[in-house]
Copies of this chain bind each other. A is one copy, B any other.
């Protein structure tokens, strides 16, 4: 049976970034990926500027302490000097203001005795001190934001710095979430005999949203080939990805695999060597992607994070080549005994002593409460396994 790593590898072979689009440079960009390089349209700083409140001087004038200079001008931030500094002259200057022609250094006001028309400089001056030269941070024409950058708050600052109010990004995938199963009813309905509430729909929508994609809710589909065929085809018309929840195990009433075949989808695999979530189905039709997730909530949650999230990341322009496991030491001993490699809910805590992971106990793949406050999945090999506190385990951070 297919391993978790091979399954993701097969998926990633079928997936490539969606097209690009323009977006306004605002908070909606967070988590999106730049589709172009962006270069600066100016030098930054645009002028040689002062790092301190104090006096702009010529270092040559101040090679000994207690020199007195004539103050010829005052330069607040936002104003441009009108006078050229000659020998034995100084200009009063604020942090961020342009230094006047002729000056080459700044003396912080704490080192100055300021008597309005003149100033006495207590210390000697090192040429260029407390001055940021024009273009020191970035030069006009220089690329400052690269294609492929996953956008964070500081990049919005940088886009503003280069005067860019719209940018080209990779489009975010639109993802339909379609719960299937005749036994499902939506909250707040009270389930009748034999029914259970649709928990995976709301949970998957939130997982899609957290992964940075656009989540589109669909109503519950009853388990019949006609319903499935019609529902899936319509959803594929408008979504990049369709997540079906339930209907993928091998029970008599699980029609999904056959329906997918009839409507021209190629099923790439339908089982994975893992627990929970063995009966994961992955199919494509052209560039459209279909995941059939197991109906049990824990299986559904885990399969999403292991396989759907990396898919969505690639679609929106990120580079993903394999699962990004991180080794984290166990906080407590724990034991498992499973016939397949397990990816269980876990809580990673970041402490003064470094990160630690605690496996969460869960009561089978239907146990939503077992997911608790998990923020990671922890990998444990098959068989009877006893892990000790301090041992490093592979975790996938959520």
CA distance A223 to B76 in the complex (A): 10
Interface of A is mostly: loop
The answer for the CA separation of A203 and B157 in the assembled complex, in Å, is 5
Q: Are A203 and B144 in contact (CB under 8 A)?
A: no
The verdict on A382 contacting chain B, using a C-beta distance below 8 Å, is no
Asked if A194 CB lies within 8 Å of chain B CBs, one says yes
Q: Is A158 at the interface (CB under 8 A from chain B)? A: yes
Q: A269-310 vs B: 1/0 string, CB under 8 Å?
A: 000000000000000000000000001110001000000000
In the assembled complex, A228 has its CB within 8 A of some CB on chain B: no
Are B160 and A369 interface neighbours, CB within 8 A?
Answer: no
The closest CB in chain B to the CB of A350 belongs to B326
From B194, B197, B205, B249, A78 is in contact (CB under 8 Å) with B194
Number of A interface residues in the complex (CB < 8 A): 107
Distance to closest chain B CB from A386 (angstroms): 22
Quick one: which of A293-345 are within 8 Å of B by CB? Answer: 295-297, 301, 324-329
**Segment from A62-70, A119-127, A180-188, A235-243 that makes contact with B:** A180-188
Which B residues touch A363, using CB under 8 A? Answer: 132, 136-137
* Interface check A22, CB cutoff 8 A: no
Q: Provided the pairs A154-B301, A163-B188 are in contact, do residues A354 and B326 lie with their beta carbons within 8 angstroms? A: yes
- For the complex of A and B, the 9 pairs showing the least CB-CB separation, nearest first, are A78-B183, A157-B203, A78-B182, A153-B206, A326-B350, A154-B371, A80-B194, A157-B199, A80-B193
